[in-house]
Every structure is written in C-alpha cells, then in structure tokens.
Amino acid sequence: MKKYFSEEHLMLQQMVKEFADKEIKPVAQEIDSQSKFPKDIINKMSDLGLLGIPWDVKYGGNGMDTLSLVIAIEEIGKICTSTAVTMMAHTSLGTGPIAYFGTENQKEKYLSKLAKGEMLGAFGLTEPSAGSDAGNTQTTAELDGDYYIINGQKAFCTNAGESGVITITAKIMSKDSSKQKIGAFIVESDSEGVTFGVPEKKMGWKGSDTRSVFFENVKIPKENILGDPNKGFSQFLETLSGGRITIGGLALGIAQGAFNAAVKYSKERTAFGKEINSFQGVSFKISDMATKIEAAKHLVYHAAWLKDNNLPFMKEAAMAKLFSSEMAMYVTTEAIQIHGGYGYIKEYNVERHFRDAKLLEIGEGTSEIQRIVISREILNNFQV
C-alpha cells in the first residue's frame, strides 16, 4: 500500500498498532461481554492525540489527513470495534460538522476541546421516523429572542451518554411552512431539558454507547446554529459522505482481525492428519478473503485520497462503504467457517468480529442507500 502511505502514515500505523496490541487487546473481550464503555482507553487515546487526527493544529488537532484517520480506525478496528467506533463517531460525525461548517467562535469554544479529546462529540441525525429518510426530521428549533428552543428526539445516537456536545439537525419553524428548512445546531449535552435513554442492548458494538436523546424546551444560544441555516441537512449529508470513508476503514480493520485469526487457526488445527489449510476447501477461502480485503483497501484509501485532495468523492465514498462493509460480512462469516465449531464460541473472537461487522451495512446509510447514491451519481453524470 506504499502507493497511498507516506512515512508519516506508516509511523502512525505502527504507533496505533502497538497501542492497540498493548492497551486494547487484553480487554477487548471484556468490553464486548460486559458491554463496557472503554473510558480508560479513550482517555489514553486522547493523551496520544488520537481523538483529533484530522483537525487543524490551531485547534489542538494533529493536522493530519483523512487517510491517517482511516489508518488509525483500521488498526484499532482489528482489535476492538467498540473502541474504534467511539473514536470514529466522535471524530468524523460528532466533531466533523463543527470543523467543516463552524464559525471561528464555535471552533474556539468546541472544536478545541473535541480535537484534544477533552470531551466527546456525538451526531444526532436519525429519529424514530427519520432513518434512511433523514429529511423527515421532526425535531424542531424555534427562534425566541437570542435563543433557539429545541424539541424532539434523536435515536441511536453513538457516544450520546458520554458526550460533551451533540450536533443535531432540527426543522427551523416558521409561520409559513413552505419556508421551514432543516438547520444544524450544536447542543451542549448537559443543557437543561436534554435527557438520555438507557444504552441500547445491541448485537455488536457492545461497548459503544448508543442511546436515544430527548429534547424538551432546550434553550440554546442562537449563535449555536451551524453553518448556513438553510443548509443544515445538506451539511449533515456532506459530513456523512466523509464518514463513509471511515466506516470503510473500520470494515478493513474488522475483516483483517477475523482474517488473521482464521489464517492462524488454519495452521494450528489438524484434521485427517493434516493442517486444515492444506485442504483446497479451506485454502481457497483464504485466497478469496485476502483478495476481497485487498480490493476494499484500494477503494477505501482511494476515496480518502480524493477527499484529501479536495476532489469529488461522494460516489467513491459510497462505493468504498458498500463494498468494504459487505466484504467484512463475507470475511467474518468465512472466518467462523474456518474455525468450525470453535468459531461459534466466544473465546476465539471471530464471532465478535462477525457481530460487529453487521452494523457496517446499516449505519451511516444502509447498503441499499449506498446503491441509490452510486447509481444516482452515475446516471446524473453519464457521458459516452
């Protein structure tokens, strides 16, 4: 992957790999089995500067690029999805909108704390009746003097219960309903009127904090509106587009974690007097898994390269997310198969990778939505 990686990328990769092996690996199973939010690890990651990788050094970030963020998520994802997701949602979704669309004051007040990891960010777009159809936002923001009053509910908000701020979308109310637009807002999580549901009980991502967030007459200063008041929704979609590249990084991590375990096991396990990898039925699985991982790497790193070079990346980010998340499901399924019955047992970790992989096909736009984005981009720009 030298085509994509600089010396700086390789050094970051090595540093994060060593950190994940030393600090996260020993507790990864416990995080999953006890649905334990990895607070201590996140604090250590903050000390290492891993919670602000792509943001400007002026605000306490590392001033690195999207590819660096992908590399870090991939290395942590090999070991523990819950930890990787916490960092990923904080960086690309919770902090991203403020870094991309925030005013100087908003960046000084919030980005400087988020980039240094002094607080975690969350991203509230999904609602009970607005998932794939996220434009159906029912949460409202009503201007009252110098404040917006927020009412409504967000669902499945990653990091919400651990967050310092949540960036949300809300319909800006107007007497003329045709003028109602969706705006984006920064809400401090401890604002009066903000309450949280209990952590969702999930199939995977068990150590990641996922909750509903309720807003009841929450008063936020009007300067907490993010970017163009009429373009909050498109700003969130743009943020999600970048987030899809980091989901690709997580898919690479989960798949490689399962792949490494499967290859190792195939060399240790014998059947009919031979290592199981000597059977073509097993070795061909290894070939197919490795080939799909390699293909996904090119898609994900290329999408990151496009973004880092300020080139259009929406289609490529959707392709990277679609392919790599389906690849991660395939690879983790085959990793269990190579382990036979032991693959079904928690001790061997591959069932954890399998459960963690599934959400990649759903979160930040389902695979069906990615196919809509890709086909729309192709059909709208088609020229022979």
Ligand X SMILES: Cc1cc2nc3c(=O)[nH]c(=O)nc-3n(C[C@H](O)[C@H](O)[C@H](O)COP(=O)(O)OP(=O)(O)OC[C@H]3O[C@@H](n4cnc5c(N)ncnc54)[C@H](O)[C@@H]3O)c2cc1C
Which sequence positions are flagged as catalytic? Answer: 364
Spatial distance between the Cα atoms of 160 and 94, rounded to a whole number of angstroms: 10
The stretch near ligand X (CB under 6 A) out of 124-132, 178-186, 272-280, 285-293 is 124-132
Tokens of 10: 């390789």
The residues with which 124 forms a beta bridge, in sequence order, are 168
* Count helices and strands in the chain by DSSP H and E runs: 13, 10
Q: Where are the beta strands (DSSP E) in the chain?
A: 120-124, 140-144, 147-158, 163-172, 181-188, 194-196, 210-221, 225-226, 270-271, 274-275
Asked whether position 215 contacts ligand X by CB under 6 A, the answer is no
Q: How far apart are CA 130 and CA 135, in angstroms?
A: 7
The residue from 34, 43, 132, 174 that contacts ligand X (CB under 6 A) is 132
Using CB under 6 A as the binding rule, whether residue 124 contacts ligand X is answered as yes
Strands (E), 283-384: none
Closer residue to ligand X in complex, CB, 198/311: 198
User: What does R_g of the chain's alpha carbons equal in angstroms?
Assistant: 21
**Least distance in angstroms from the C-beta of 218 to ligand X:** 17
| CA distances for 372 relative to 8, 84, 135, 366, angstroms | 36, 27, 15, 10
Region near ligand X per CB under 6 A, out of 43-51, 110-118, 221-229, 356-364: 356-364
Pick from 123, 259, 305, 348: which binds ligand X (CB under 6 A)? 123
Q: At its nearest, how many Å lie between ligand X and the CB of residue 338?
A: 27
Q: Does 255 contact ligand X by CB under 6 A?
A: no
Piece of the chain touching ligand X by CB under 6 A; list 36-44, 123-131, 137-145, 221-229: 123-131
- Classify residue 92 by its DSSP letter: I
Residue 48 binds ligand X (CB under 6 A): no
| Site string (76-115) toward ligand X, x via CB under 6 A | -------------x---x----------------------
Binding site for ligand X (CB under 6 A): 89, 93, 123-126, 131-132, 156-158, 202, 205, 210, 359, 362-366, 368-369, 372
